[in-house]
Amino acid sequence: MEDVPVTTRWEDSPFFGAFEEDEHGRRANFYSQFAGGRFAPRQQNALQGLFEPVFNRYLGIIGNQLKTTGKQSLSYSDYLTQDFNPQRELLRMPDDRSQLFGGRTVFDFGR
């Protein structure tokens, strides 16, 4: 059996490329940011609907980097761990989204 090298950096993982370049990998990367029971089920459902706007903000940052410096210096994984805050995203939701929860906000529901 072949020894599998132990990596200490996420960038060295064999999965890093898929989490950066593959559509399903990017979604898994995004969903992993709020999985694990830290949020109530309704909050998780609300966050799942934010993949597109969050990814579009990341693409905007990359576009700006390319225009100003000519190179990309921020990976999607780094963006999610450094700049994405699920709590802040829930607070950013427009009022019409709260109608999904009978007029209450996602914070009105406990765990």
- CA dist 27 and 37 (Å) reads 18
The pLDDT value given to residue 102? 52
For 30-87, what is each residue's pLDDT tens digit? 998 888 878 888 888 889 889 999 999 999 999 999 999 999 889 999 999 999 999 8
Average pLDDT over residues 80-101: 76
The pLDDT value given to residue 111? 44
DSSP string, 6-64: P-SSGGGSTTHHHHHHSHHHHHHHHHTTT-SSSS-HHHHHHHHTTHHHHHHHHHHHHHH
Domain residue ranges of the chain, discontinuous segments joined by +: 15-108
Q: Which range among 33-37, 68-72, 88-92, 104-108 shows the weakest confidence by mean pLDDT?
A: 104-108
The pLDDT value given to residue 54? 93
For 3-17, what is each residue's pLDDT tens digit? 666 656 767 777 777
